[in-house]
Amino acid sequence: MFLDSIFAEKLLKHKNYNVMLKKIFTALNLFTFIAAFSQTGIGTEIPEGALDISFPKNEWGLVLPHVDQAENTKNPTGKNVKKGTIVYDLKENCIKYFNGSEWSGCMSASIPVKLEFGSAVLNQDIITNYPISVGTNVSVPYSNKGETINYVEIAVSSTNVDGLKAILSPGSIKKGAGNLVFSISGTPSTSGDAKFSFSLAGVQCEFVISVKNYTDIKVPPITNLICDEVNQLGYKSLKGKHIINGKEVTVGFKGSNISTGERSGSCNTSTISNSIAIASNYNPGALIITFSRPVTNVGIAFTAAQRDEVVTFTTNGKQGVQLKSTSSCRDQIYIGNDTMVFTSNNNNVVIGGSLTVGGGWFTELKIEHNGQSSGLLSSFCLNGSNAL
């Protein structure tokens, strides 16, 4: 006590004693902090780690830096991202960390899965080597037991079958059941199962759609189509782009001994002006019609046929076609083995009617005439046809 009094008295007499006191106490505090507190504490005087954040109310959480996606994270010093960096990835709605060379997947293994996906449903067939029709989509059913999940656009390319892309527009998943609708585009390179993998809210999902050869797709039943003049296509109007049950199909044709025909009628059937005449003056003829997509149930109006004329129908797929005819002179038309034969007791009788060519998908239809008599006048109807 005596020494302390002497020391205090000397300090009081010193003209800068206040300054000296401050320096002494600052030094003492610094040494005490270094000795006892090498950690950092926020809201606590006794941190139990390198960083200890604690608040009286146990209702607050730690908000991590939000980035549009982890791979876009930057180091503010301009250097490479530091190993151990943790961020919240907005694209996949989950936490990720950097291991020094690459970003982790979503750190969600311990979180109960509240989002589940079901089997995908394709709204129309996808055909090998043919561009996908506009409006083709896949519905992926989901069940969400958690809160609303917002997501950005998801675009994924197919695997196993190349050439396809699935795009999901930005949106949200409400609590309950619903469907994610992906639009599908591209041209598949081969047949088989096209696979699409994506991640949403930390949940990995893969949906699969089947790509088929058109010859393997079920053909709609053949029907008796009435090819009326309002819908008929002829020498000038058959070529070009047409819409067949929602698909854009480009049609072309060529042939031997074919020409432009005049309007004609027989057996309550008429063909338009500029119809297509196949064969003439006892010379055979052939018309080959091509389609940019597989079609079936092509309607034909025919007139000017006479006894012993024979018309044969073949396709590039080599599968047998079916023929159905509607005519008031049906008793004078024989149909069998992809062939239509005109029969009559009178050589002067002119036969006409409507015909449907179906039973299989095809991209080329060849119509051959045996050249008997003066040939056949034909107009075509696609308004009742089918296309893939």
> Quick check: is 338 in a domain?
yes
Higher-pLDDT residue of 34 and 67 is: 67
**Domain-terminating residue out of 160, 180, 212:** 212
- Specify the pLDDT at position 28: 42
The CATH number of the domain where 366 resides is what?
Answer: 2.60.120
Residues 48, 166 within the same domain:
no
- What is the Cα–Cα distance from 366 to 265, expressed in whole angstroms? 23
Q: Is the pLDDT of residue 36 over 60?
A: no
Among the ranges given (94-98, 110-114, 237-241, 268-272), the one the predictor scored with the smallest mean pLDDT:
110-114
Q: Count up the domains in the chain and report the number.
A: 3
Mean pLDDT of the region 295-300: 95
- What is the Cα–Cα distance from 68 to 79, expressed in whole angstroms? 20
Q: Is the pLDDT of residue 16 over 60?
A: no
Q: Place 6 in a pLDDT band, splitting at 50, 70 and 90.
A: very low
Higher-pLDDT residue of 371 and 7 is: 371
Q: Is the pLDDT of residue 2 over 50?
A: no
- What is the Cα–Cα distance from 199 to 281, expressed in whole angstroms? 69
Q: Are 267 and 351 contacting, i.e. CB atoms less than 8 angstroms apart?
A: yes
Q: Which domain holds residue 283?
A: 229-387
**Domain-terminating residue out of 17, 35, 53:** 53
- Specify the pLDDT at position 7: 44
CA angle 116, 118, 119 (to 5 degrees): 155
- Specify the pLDDT at position 117: 87
Q: Is the pLDDT of residue 277 over 90?
A: yes
Residues 285, 169 within the same domain:
no
> Quick check: is 61 in a domain?
no
Specify the amino acid at residue 36: A
Q: Are 108 and 202 contacting, i.e. CB atoms less than 8 angstroms apart?
A: yes
Per-residue DSSP letter, 131: P
Mean pLDDT of the region 305-331: 86
Residues 188, 48 within the same domain:
no
Name the packing angle between helices 17-36 and 2-13 (round to 10°). Answer: 130
- What is the Cα–Cα distance from 364 to 321, expressed in whole angstroms? 12
Whether this prediction's pTM lies above 0.85 is answered by: no
Residues 255, 368 within the same domain:
yes
Residues 267, 136 within the same domain:
no
Residues 245, 273 within the same domain:
yes
> Quick check: is 105 in a domain?
no
Residues 206, 238 within the same domain:
no
Closest listed residue to residue 322, CA positions, set 276, 349, 356: 356
- What is the Cα–Cα distance from 297 to 355, expressed in whole angstroms? 9
The CATH number of the domain where 189 resides is what?
Answer: 2.60.40.10
- What is the Cα–Cα distance from 357 to 378, expressed in whole angstroms? 13
> Quick check: is 44 in a domain?
yes
Q: Is the pLDDT of residue 127 over 50?
A: yes
Residues 43, 143 within the same domain:
no
Residues 199, 236 within the same domain:
no
Q: Long-range contacts for 336-341 (Cβ within 8 Å, ≥24 apart)? A: 338/312, 338/313, 338/314, 339/310, 339/311, 339/312, 339/313, 340/310, 340/311, 340/312, 340/313, 341/308, 341/309, 341/310, 341/311
> Quick check: is 171 in a domain?
yes
Residues 207, 243 within the same domain:
no
> Quick check: is 49 in a domain?
yes
Q: Which of 91-105, 294-308, 337-351 has the highest mean pLDDT?
A: 294-308
Q: Which of 37-46, 155-164, 216-225 has the highest mean pLDDT?
A: 155-164
> Quick check: is 167 in a domain?
yes
Residues 314, 264 within the same domain:
yes
Residues 235, 381 within the same domain:
yes
> Quick check: is 304 in a domain?
yes
**Element spanning 181, H or E:** strand 176-186
